[in-house]
Structure 1
Amino acid sequence: MQPDHRAPEPGSVLPVVIFAVVVMVAVHVGLLVTMDPGFLQGHLADPDAYMRVVRVLELRQGAAWFDTVTPALAAPEGLSLHWTRPLDILILLPALTLERLAGLDPRQAIFLAGGLVSPPLHLAATLAAAWGAAGLWDRQRAPLYAVLMMAASPAAANYSAPGRADHHALILFAVTLGLAAAIHALRPGARGRVAMVAGAAFGFGVWVGPEALIIALPVLLAIGLAALVAEDGRHAAAQGMRATAGLAAMLVLAIVVERPPGEWLAVETDRVSVEHLALALLCGAAFAALRPVAAGSRGRRWLVGIAAGAAALGAFVALFPVLPQRVAEDADAAIARMLRLHHDLIAEMQPLPPFGPGGVSTVGFLMGGVPLLGLVAVGLAVRGWRRDGGWQAGLVLGVALLAGIAAAFAAVRFALDLAAPAAIAAAGLMGQVLARSWPREPALRLVLGLMLVLGGLAMPRLARDSAEAERITEASGTEAIGSACDATALALWLAGARARIAPAGHAPILVMEDMNAGPEIAWRSGVRGVSGPYHRGGDAFIDVLRAFTATDDGAARAILARRQADLVAVCTADPPTDNAADLVTRLRRGEAPAWLRPVPLPDALGGYRLFAVDPGA
């Protein structure tokens, strides 16, 4: 299955677009109706989605463009979010249109626009994967296969489902477009502008979220390796320079858009900053050093390439040291343990088995069979790439695929980044199987190819029941907790009862155990929270943990006073702690100190106990 490098004609592109639209509509309608109908019932998918619409609503109501602090969490000072503005605008602009054309109020419009923003981005990522597949495989059939492979990625589909008002699908689109452009840029005779498109797409991905570097950096590394190995590496080195130029240009734009002039040199690893720009410039400098010798002897090339890479890495570490900061953060062992606990409570940050909870079924359910199909396709294609000169583009795809697999095993959420190289790679499997000399009969090769593809696509469904059983076993009762303590119901009740149970004149502050409930409660009721599932809110998480585990009422009261708490909520169905004398255990039993006044709740909220803080008691 060799690629055809002629420019696609409109007549050949339109069927792919129509096919992708049909497949994406089927996938997301299916998810909405059969798997998770929450959005149809007025729910968003997770805390991030609620936090995003809270943030967009704040912008709509006049929050400063450069203000990254939301008062909804980490009260009273507010939470500094590492999120950036591109997705906010993709939600806000349609919401403003809905306000004007449909007469919706801002909250309704933002909720609807936010809940529907991800499926179109999934479609865009799918079309980018189809373009990438056309650069390596047959341009007639492989793009259609790429559509199916992207649709069959569990991470891509779930992170892009209706109700997911977060930036994951936008990152997926950016890295898929960047990878597809890089594949085209490394084909023989490719133009320089497509390499700049690759860099700019990756730069936009880093703007949205620095995790885009999981794919961007391996792609740059693969381009460098191609320049070292090729008979004449000048083309690869030049394309590497152009890609890093596009990356740097986009990052400059991001810094100017996201930060006021006084903060253009601010360094933030988790949010686009001059640190990422310096990384792009140093990579570009390494390519610039390699290019003059890229047509010479390979020994000299390797010497220059290794020296340039080491110099760039050394300069980056010297400019942005990270180890001393980590040592300082770990100086307080108790705080370090608490932050590790915070990390362990976030399921998407856990590694895949065998490094994390679950078994083989969990891997199949969360990753699906597309990465495996991609590995098989790349392995079968190596000989053909060597023969037709496509090995440099294949190297880019293969390195990105391996990096994505490693990242997914490191943390579940990175399976989303893996979806880009996996879909493009797996799109070539059918053609590679059909092109084999074994089995001899074409019909048998077709049957073998169909068995492989259909089996890979079906893997998440086949593994689902076993994986769910493993998850429920390890959760040890979380379903019972969830049914006893409904955060949505509590949020709706707080919205109506807020004026009666909290001081007037300011948005009340609620302290509760469930750090995931804060964003939804803030959206539905306007009640501010303290702890939340965000790494920048570590101090707030620690305060809540210390207050609830305190056995000294004075210490707990001091923490709540510093947090200006008006309300405290606990769930009686939560697992017991190790100490029956700590505050949270006593509150679950209804044994509150004098300065916490019980607030009556309706029977439907019987799993909760709510207390009002009485500062005068």
Structure 2
Amino acid sequence: MIFTADHFDRHWRLLVTFFWLATAAAFVWARWQYIGWFALGDTDDNLRMMEARALLAGQGWFDLRQYRLDPPYGADIHWSRLVDLPLAGLMLLFRLFMSGAEAEKVAVAVAPMLPMGVAMASLAILCRRLIAPTAYIFALLLLLYAHSAKSMWLPLRIDHHGWQLAMLSLVLLGLTDRKRARGGAVTGIATALSLSIGLEMLIYLAVAGAATALMWIRDAGQARRLAAYGASLAGGTTLGYLIFASDANRAPVCDALSPVWLSVMAAAGALAVLLAWLRLGRPLLRLAAAALAGALLAGGFALAWPDCVSRPEGVSPELYKMWLSHVREARPIYTHSWQTIVNGLALPVAGLIGYGVTIWRLRRDEAALTPWAAIALSALIAVALLFWQTRATPAAQLLAIPGAAALAWMVVGRAWSIPNLALRAVAVLVAFLLISGIAVQWVVRAFPEPTSAGAKAVSAANAKCPTLAALRPIALRPKGYVLTHVDLGPRLITVTHHDAVAGPYHRNGDAILDVMQAFRGSADNAHAIVARRGIDYVLICPNLSESTIYRSRAPQGFYVQLSRGQVPDWLEPIALPKNSPYRMWRVVRR
């Protein structure tokens, strides 16, 4: 069979390390120009840089407010300092050898490689445990074609999503560990770290906890796993809250590790330890005890924190209608183009097929079946979540890799047994192309989405407006407070000295609504908002994605008037280069 040479088994650590370093080098090479341009493309990446800068400049450890947004109050950011640490540490390290600006560029290139290494190592170990000693090769190759997951580790992707995927891979590693106490501890600690970063993986983490309990229900000998999980979950979450929770997260908020989720996780951990301590001989008794514990946990949560039973963002109906409902990644996958649907589902579907075939083959081997069932359940739920929000795609692809690797191991193994060398090579290649989704991606590229002139203009604006070259003339203006697009706010404060009203962060609903109402309302309404906030400049980038909402929802609004050249007398035009994608005005105070 392919990849069964002894050295692939004996030297797997070295090979995984080499694969990680080679992949990192290839990513840096491919993104070299973007690194040089400091092209932090996502709003979260820009704000993460501002958070790390603020920490190094002396802002308090527990103060996560971003004072360059919505000054003088600052924007309340629901993150924690955990992800700031590696980025800030790299910035400090590289400042020993180069200028501050160059150190930042190197740091944003290197930082995403760290969680990628964690995920690669975890998936390699998992596949060695469950499939075969050399099956990790398939896991690593498949990860390169999990485009949504892989994109979270590309250079410049310094936000928290890459680290959360890494923690999810550690959770899977813990679930599949044959050393029960160690496995439970790994699952519990990785869960606590993930929650300290953010709540985006909460559903998958809850499934992992339920899977740990189900292992104990099936086999009382799993009590050590359950106890270790409960103790590490409660202890780790408590430490995560004490060390990393911001001042704002000390309040009972629903969208971060706060007293709400600390109490839930502490109670869940205590109940897990209690269940493991009970000596219940029959599976039905263990099932009843676990069901009672789950009911107590859910009921206590609903009674103690009723405001957190609904969406954790807790935004107002007006903010949801004007802003959050238009966020593309918050829409179900079936609302997107068929190309997006196929690209997003190809690997997860292959993973589900692999899980199904593997579980069927192991149906009479309960010991081998249990870990496969645990991770298959997580993968299945991830696919289901895609029909709620497309943002589940990276996690769904990551969770699919063990199943897809098992399927590749079986299918490629069969193909490798074909006597004819040419047919064998073709069969192996076709099998991998189908399972990895590469063939599907080729089909999608062959039939690209039709692009209208309007869509091309939007793509051009999205590409040009955030660049250093485009923002340099803006940065040369005297420092001021700028009314601009919500999605442009984090980039503006990162690469210029100006302040902005808002960024796309749900806790700052009033600031976001001010921007929305200013650009979608009348010029007089915008003037009132500008005067109340003490705005110095108005800045727009015509055809930026966000502006299409203003145009479609308010065809006579302030933004549309500005884009047509209908400028009120309280704005004075600022001369920008002819090739600038921006239009900028100074507020005239009379």
**Length-normalised TM-score, structure 2:** 0.88
What is residue 283 of structure 1 aligned with on the other side? 268
Deviation at 1:161, TM superposition (A): 0.7
Q: 1:486 to 1:277 in 2, by over 3 A?
A: closer
Match of 1:451 among 418, 423, 430: 430
Helix, strand or coil at the partner of 1:519 = helix
The farther-off stretch of 591-600 and 473-482 is 473-482
Greater Cα shift, 570-579 or 161-170: 570-579
Letter in 1 for 2:567: A
Instruction: Tell whether 2:558 aligns with 1:587.
Output: no
What letter is aligned with 2:378? A
Deviations 1:42-66 (A, max 9, x none): 3123222111111211111111111
Structure 2 Cα separation of the partners of residues 120 and 328 of structure 1: 29
Q: Report the Cα offset of residue 143 of structure 1.
A: 1.6
Which residue is equivalent to 2:242? 256
2:123 matches 1:129:
yes
User: Is this contact kept in 2: 1:531–1:544, CA < 8 A?
Assistant: yes
SS where residue 170 of structure 1 aligns? helix
| Superposition CA RMSD, Å | 3.3
Q: 1:433 to 1:71 in 2, by over 3 A?
A: same
Change (3 A) 1:251 1:294: same
CA shift at 1:542, angstroms? 0.6
For 2:398, the equivalent position in structure 1 comes to 420
Correspondence for 2:445 = 465
Q: Secondary structure at the match of 1:84?
A: coil
1:357 aligns with 2:342: no
1:597 paired residue number: 572
1:236-276, Cα deviation, whole Å (9 max, x unpaired): 3441231132122221111111247x878532332222322
Instruction: Give the Å deviation of 1:16.
Output: 3.1
Query: What secondary structure sits across from 1:77 in the alignment?
Result: coil
Aligned with 1:495 (options 448, 467, 475): 475
Q: Which amino acid aligns with 1:19?
A: F
Residue 193 of structure 2 corresponds to residue 204 of structure 1? yes
Is the counterpart of residue 479 in structure 1 residue 480 in structure 2? no
**Displacement of 1:81:** 1.0
Q: Does 1:551 align with 2:550?
A: no
Q: Deviations over 1:483-524 (max 9, x none)?
A: 78566444211222x22xxxxxxx411102x32222221111
> In the alignment, is residue 392 of structure 1 matched against residue 364 of structure 2?
no
**Residues 571 and 110 from structure 1, CA distance in 2 versus in 1: closer, same or farther, beyond 3 angstroms?**
closer
| CA shift in 2, pair 1:471/1:299, >3 Å | farther
Counterparts of 2:157 and 2:94 in 1: how far apart (Å)? 19
Q: How many Å separate the matches in 1 of 2:150 and 2:495? A: 27
Which of residues 504, 509, 515 in structure 1 aligns to 2:481? Answer: 509
Equivalent pair of 1:71/1:78 in contact (CA under 8 Å) = yes
Is the contact made by 1:171 and 1:212 (CA closer than 8 Å) also made in structure 2?
Answer: yes
Provide the C-alpha distance between the structure 2 equivalents of 1:384 and 1:394, rounded to a whole number of angstroms: 11
Does the CA contact (< 8 Å) of 2:481 and 2:498 recur in 1?
A: yes
Task: Name the counterpart of 2:42.
Answer: 46
1:578 is displaced (CA, Å) by 5.5
Shift of 1:536: 1.9
Task: Report how far residue 528 of structure 1 moved.
Answer: 0.9
Letter in 2 for 1:198: T
Q: Does 1:613 align with 2:590?
A: no
| Secondary structure, aligned partner of 1:410 | coil
Partners of 1:259 and 1:328 in 2: CA distance:
17
- Determine the structure 2 residue equivalent to 1:109: 103
| Per-residue deviation, 1:126 | 0.8
1:504 paired residue number: none
Q: Does residue 171 of the first structure (1) align with residue 164 of the second (2)?
A: yes
Distance 1:350 1:206, change over 3 A: same
Partner of 2:5: none
Aligned partners of 2:116 and 2:153 also within 8 Å: yes
Partner amino acid for 2:195?
V
Q: Which residue of 2 aligns with 1:223?
A: 212
Letter of the 2:406 partner, please give it: G
Name which of structure 1's ranges 174-183 and 458-467 shifts more when overlaid on structure 2: 458-467
8 Å Cα contact 1:510/1:569 also seen in 2: yes
In structure 2, C-alpha distance between the alignment counterparts of 1:493 and 1:268, rounded to whole Å: 40
Q: TM-score, normalised by structure 1?
A: 0.84
Secondary structure in structure 1 of the residue aligned to 2:568: coil
The one-letter amino acid of 2:458's match is T
Structure 2, unpaired ranges of 5+: 2-7
Match of 1:612, SS state, is strand
Aligned-partner SS, 2:188: helix
| Cα displacement (A) at 1:532 | 1.6
What residue identity is the alignment partner of 1:167? Answer: H
Contact 1:255-1:272 at 8 Å conserved across structures: yes
Give me the whole-angstrom Cα distance separating, in 2, the residues matched to 1:38 and 1:439.
Answer: 41
Deviations 1:533-562 (A, max 9, x none): 222222111111112222261x32221122
Q: Percent identity?
A: 25
Question: How many matched pairs?
Answer: 576
Query: How far apart are 1:130 and its partner, in Å?
Result: 0.6
For 2:495, give the aligned amino acid. R
CA separation in 2, counterparts of 1:263 and 1:518? Answer: 21
Q: Which runs of 5+ in 1 are unaligned?
A: 2-7, 500-506
